[in-house]
Structures are given as C-alpha cells and as structure tokens.
Structure 1
Amino acid sequence: MKLGFHLGYWGSGPIPGARESVLEAERLGFDSVWSAEAYGSDAFTPLAWVGAATSRIKLGTNIVQMSARTPTATAMSALTMDHLSGGRFVLGLGASGPQVVEGWYGQPYPKPLARTREYVEIVRKVLAREEPVTIDGQFFQLPLQGGTGLGKPLKPTVHPLRADLPIYLAAEGPKNVALAAEICDGWLPLFFSPKSDAFYRAALEEGFARPGARRSSLDGFEVAASVPVIVHDDVEEAASFIKPALALYIGGMGAKSVNFHHDVFARLGYADVADQVQELYLAGRKEEAVKAIPTSLVEDTSLIGPAEKIREELSAWEDTVVTTLLLRGDAGSLAKAAKALS
C-alpha cells in the first residue's frame, strides 16, 4: 500500500511548514502529495509552489471543486501543471455540496452526477486535443448557445504532455462511487473504513460493469483514501485530536437535510451518533458534539495508538480496495507514521 501526504486546505492563513513537510514526504518515499480547496485557498497554487521544490512525488488535487471553474479552465490548469511537473500531476475533482456550490460559487447544484459526467467528458476532450472541443449538453454547451453567435469550437494551443492524464473523483455515496469507476481513473474516498469495504467494492463493481466504462475491474484503478494516522501511546488522547474535525464534518459541513459526511457514518452503523452530533453542532453546542463522538468511530476510520496497534490494524486496510493512504501532519509526525506503517 502506497503512502500519500494530504496538505488539505488553509485555515485562516497558509499551512505552517507545508513546504518542509512535502520535502520530508518525498524523502521518506511517499508516492504523492495532495491539496484541497473549500472557500479560501485554491487547490492548484499550493501544488505549483511545492512542486517546484520536488522532483519525484506526484502532485494531486483532493479536490478541485467543479463549480469553481468551467471544465475547459480546469483542463487548462491540469495540462499546465502536468507540463511544469514533468508528468506528475493527478486531477482530483469533486462536486462539493449545495451550501458551497450555491452559496459561494453561485452555481446550481441539482443533478450533480449528470453534471459531473459532462464535466469530465469535456476535460478529457481538451486533454486529448484530437479536434476542437464541442458539446451540446444539458449543463455545458461549447460553443455557447444563445450568445452572440460568434463563438467557435477551439482546441488548446498547448499540446498536453499526457493525453491520458489521470482523473480521480471524490465520492461518498454509492451512485457517485460507481460513476468514479465508470468514467475516471481513481476514487478519492473520505472517511473510509475497512468495515465499509464490501459496500464500496460493490458500488465500484457496478461502475466497472457499465457499457463504455474505462476499465472492467479494479486492476489499474487507484483508491486514495484520506486516513488519519496518529502514533501515540494513549489511544484516547490520539482520538481527541481527530474528534473535533469529525464533529465539524458530521455536524456542520452541510445542511441538516443534505450532509453526505453524516450519511457515511450512518451507513457505517453510527446513525444515532451522527444524528446527535449534527443536532448539537447545528445548535452551536460544538464541544458537546465533539464529546458525543465515541472513540470506536475514530478507530473505525483512522489508525491511531501505539505503533504496534497500528501495524496490527493495518492488515485490515491492506485487504480493502484502498491503494494509497493519505496522511496529514508535520514533517515529524509523517516520519513517525511512515515508520509505524512500514
């Protein structure tokens, strides 16, 4: 199983020591480094910055929000990054949720699966550079219909370094996971657990079986899961570092009626916990929401505790569809985690 380093997105400012952590990840033999965006820092710029200081490690977005850019703009950034990095770039895409899509980007959210399908199709057309890009879709038209009438089909002036640049899709629900298997080269799960492997494996197999799917099996398909790894003698204290983020995602990253993160934990068997955390968080009782999360939930979706415990539990992860564990932390914690996972 490969290791990746997830930078994430910025808080109120740049991530302290990010460059040093990436350099340490490359020195340790990590396969990839990933950035993210929400409604603050963007995903491409930090990768360009750290990519200039590295030579081997892959550079991926986890994720670029599709509503933030037109498909052709995303494709332009992807082919630019791929050239500048010497073919190390991986384009990770995601739909985000209605609060961000409609509240921040001012774009419609309905029918995210169909919109994603069109989006990826256009990106692939740009990267292929076989002909001027045209599409008469439900969500995108190239050239635009109803404008001046002067738009013309175009193809990129830049010749892509790799026409088959890998595209991964972030997904949590079974339909979106199946779509990742059908039209993409990898899947970016959040809050994965070995206990949910059969559920997601079935969703992936459904996508692989669809007519015109890019591949027919998991062979060559990448699954890069964000997994907290904390080496610590005290399991409860290690869990306490993770619980606030879980409370935020389960309780506050989405509306009460539409929160995909909440649904992940409900499927995992924590429906009552997820409901309680959401109620408390949305009521402004955030500390209580954190306390409502049992350590067992953290352990189901993380690798925490003494190194011996982590090594023992790692075997369950190695039997899943996951091909890469994406870790977070500073240079020192990455080294400790890598040693525990070796």
Structure 2
Amino acid sequence: MKVALQLGYWGAMPPQHAQELVSEAERAGFDGVFAAESWGSDAFTPLAWWGSTTTRVRLGTSVAQLSARSPAACAMHALTLDHLSGGRCVLGLGVSGPQVVEGWYGQPFEKPLARTREYVSIVRQVLARQQPVRNEGPHYPLPYHGPGSSGLGKSLRPITHPLRADLPIWLGAEGPRNVAQTAEIADGWLAVYYSPRLAAVCEEWLAEGFARPGARRTRSEFEVAAHCQVLVTDDAAAERAGLKPSLALYLGGMGAVRRNFHADVFRRMGYAEAVEEVGLLFREGRREEAAAAVPDELVDEIAIIGTRERVVERVRQWERSGVDTLLVGCRDAEQVRTVAEVVRESGSADSPVSTLPS
C-alpha cells in the first residue's frame, strides 16, 4: 500500500499550511502529492509551486477537468510539469458534471465517455510526438474545420520533446461503464468514493475493460488510487461528524438533482433512502440537518476512522480489496506523520513508507 497527500481544491482562500504539509509528506515517505480543481483554483499551479521544493514524491492531478482546457493544452501542462519535476507527473483527468461543464466552462456535457476516449487519445499523441497530432473524432477535431474555421489549421507536433511518452494517465470514474473504459485506456483509476465492501463489483468492472481488444494495461500493471480520510482517534463519533458536511455537499450540491454521479455511487452502496433525504434537506438550505442525516455507516464505508489498532487493520483491509494507493487529506504535519506510521504498521513490505525508520 502506498499513500499520497491529497491537497484538494481551494476554498475562498489558498490553504495556509500546504507547503508544510507537502514538505512533511516527502519527509514521512508519502509516495505522492495530488491537487484538484472545481471552479476556483486550478490543479497544476499548486503542484508546480509547492512541488518545486520536493525531489521524490509524484505530483498528480486528481482531477484536472477535461472541459477546463483542450486536450493539447492539457498535454502541454503535463509535459511541462513532468520536465520540471524530473519525470514525476501523474495526469489525473475527469469529466466533472453537467452543472460545472455547461455552467462554468460553457461546454456541452453529453457523451462523456466518448469525449474522454478522444481526449486521452490526443494527449497520448502529443506525449508520443511521433507525428503531427490529428483527430477525426467529433468532440476535439484536429485540425479544426468546423463553423468559423479559416481553413488554415495545420497539424503540429509539440515543439518541446516530452520527457516521457508513457507519462501515466489516471481517470476519475464512478459508474460501471466509466470504470471499465478507465481500465481499457488508462494507467490508473482515481476512485472518489470507494468501499472495500464493493471490491468484487469494482473488480468486475475493471476486468471488463482489461479484456477489451487493445487494452493498455493488465490488472497487475494498473494502479487503483482511492480517496480516503485516515483519522486515528479515540472519538470516532466526532471525526465522523466532521466529515458529514462535506459528504452532504457532494450528495446534495455537487450535481443536478437528475444527474449527480456522487449520489449514484452511494445509491449503489445501498444508501438510496439516505441519499434522497440528505439531498432534499441540502437543496432546501437546511445544511446542518442534511449533514446530520448522513448515516454513520456511510461514513465508515469510505473513510478509515478509529483507534490506532482499528485504523491499521482497516488499511490492511483496503489493501486486500485491491487498492494500491490511498489519497489522504491531512490537516497538519502531525496527521501526515501519523498516517505514515499507520500505513507502515499495516505491514506492507512494498510500501515506500514501510522502508523508513520508525
């Protein structure tokens, strides 16, 4: 089991102690540092800024949104960061949802799987730099010859030679078809809300993708990175309560009523009634009640909370379920060190954390 620091995306202001967390994560033996974006801060700049003080950890986006930039522009970001970091970039991509894609980026949301496939194909062409980049697909035609075109578009190769043609591309995916496509075309899966209880189902989705003709990886070559809060505490109830407002936001506010992929994940876990109640309360502006309506069991499905002994055993359980990397948000340097220690104690000899002195 590996562990990576999840910086997430910014709220109203930049986080105050991010540089301290990044530095401590590298010292403690974390494998990577990841940043996200929604409709405020971007995912690449924090990695370049705070990651410039590191020498070992991978620097990844989880996720960079497809509609935020064209495939060629995204490839430029990735190859630039990969050069600056000496080959440590992981490009994590995701489609987001219709509210953000159409409301913030002004782009159509429909056919997200087809768009993802085209997008990844173009990024890989840029990174391979074998020939001028072309794409005949309907979503990102290159060269562009549609309405308003001058007719002068020219297929190009990147001026800058990418450091790695095989720079890893991970995809954020939640539904069965999306997870299967991720296994087919990507190098890793960013699982936003993962539950070891559903590991067998997830492995079936992945296996479908690996079995497709031309699949890029086998299961043993593929990395599953799951977002997970890891909290060592004697007051599990308080820590669960602290996570519930964020969960209520994602269940009730991070997606349209008719199309909320995060809510669908929890419906598949068996929490359909709770999802409806939390969503209704949140949309009515009763956010404290919405948070209170999130079941304790739901929180325990997707987070690791409890005494040190319980947390160590739960980390082992997540690893046995097929998770290769935990993406963990940390409040301070002490939590970074604690997470490193419990992953070490979980007993995985292959973990970079486990090789550090106690």
TM-score bracket, normalised by the shorter chain, equals over 0.9
Does residue 60 in structure 1 map to residue 52 in structure 2?
no
Cα distance between partner residues in 2 of 1:20 and 1:283: 38
Q: CA deviation at 1:324?
A: 0.2
Amino acid in structure 2 at the alignment position of 1:245:
S
Cα distance between partner residues in 2 of 1:244 and 1:14: 20
Alignment size in residue pairs: 341
Amino acid in structure 2 at the alignment position of 1:176:
N
Q: CA deviation at 1:318?
A: 1.4
Amino acid in structure 1 at the alignment position of 2:202:
Y
Amino acid in structure 2 at the alignment position of 1:136:
E
Cα distance between partner residues in 2 of 1:79 and 1:335: 31
Cα distance between partner residues in 2 of 1:41 and 1:251: 22
Contact 2:22–2:51 (Cα < 8 Å) also in 1: no
Amino acid in structure 1 at the alignment position of 2:174:
E
Q: What is the match of residue 29 of structure 1?
A: 29
Amino acid in structure 1 at the alignment position of 2:26:
E
Q: What is the match of residue 355 of structure 2?
A: none
Q: CA deviation at 1:198?
A: 1.0
Q: CA deviation at 1:313?
A: 2.0
Does residue 169 in structure 1 map to residue 168 in structure 2?
no
1:152-191, aligned counterparts within 5 Å? Answer: 152-191=154-193
The structure 1 segments of at least 4 consecutive aligned residues displaced by more than 4 Å after TM superposition are none
1:169-248, aligned counterparts within 5 Å? Answer: 169-215=171-217, 217-248=218-249
* SS of structure 2 residue aligned to 1:135: coil
Q: What is the match of residue 111 of structure 2?
A: 111
Amino acid in structure 2 at the alignment position of 1:21:
L
Contact 2:225–2:324 (Cα < 8 Å) also in 1: yes
Q: What is the match of residue 134 of structure 1?
A: 134
* SS of structure 2 residue aligned to 1:4: strand
Contact 2:29–2:340 (Cα < 8 Å) also in 1: no
Instruction: Tell me which moved more, 278-287 or 327-336.
Output: 327-336
Q: What is the match of residue 38 of structure 1?
A: 38
Cα distance between partner residues in 1 of 2:337 and 2:168: 28
Amino acid in structure 2 at the alignment position of 1:109:
F
Q: What is the match of residue 307 of structure 1?
A: 308
Cα distance between partner residues in 2 of 1:101 and 1:141: 19
Q: What is the match of residue 321 of structure 1?
A: 322
* SS of structure 1 residue aligned to 2:6: strand
* SS of structure 2 residue aligned to 1:188: strand
Cα distance between partner residues in 1 of 2:66 and 2:261: 17
Q: CA deviation at 1:19?
A: 0.6
Amino acid in structure 1 at the alignment position of 2:222:
F
1:251-330, aligned counterparts within 5 Å? Answer: 251-329=252-330, 330=332
In angstroms, what is the RMSD of aligned CA positions?
A: 0.8
**TM-score of the pair, normalised by structure 1:** 0.98
Cα distance between partner residues in 2 of 1:196 and 1:116: 25
Q: CA deviation at 1:83?
A: 0.3
Cα distance between partner residues in 1 of 2:314 and 2:80: 40
Amino acid in structure 2 at the alignment position of 1:221:
F
**TM-score of the pair, normalised by structure 2:** 0.94
Cα distance between partner residues in 2 of 1:341 and 1:305: 14
Cα distance between partner residues in 2 of 1:104 and 1:52: 30
Q: CA deviation at 1:341?
A: 2.8
Could you tell me which runs of 5 or more consecutive residues in structure 1 were left unpaired when the two chains were aligned. Answer: none
Cα distance between partner residues in 2 of 1:341 and 1:85: 26
Deviations 1:275-308 (A, max 9, x none): 1101111111111111111211111111001111
Amino acid in structure 2 at the alignment position of 1:85:
S
* SS of structure 2 residue aligned to 1:141: coil
Deviations 1:83-113 (A, max 9, x none): 0000000000000000000000000000000
Deviations 1:130-179 (A, max 9, x none): 00001111111111113111111100000000011000000000111011
State percent identity of aligned pairs.
Answer: 57
* SS of structure 2 residue aligned to 1:136: coil
Q: What is the match of residue 81 of structure 2?
A: 81
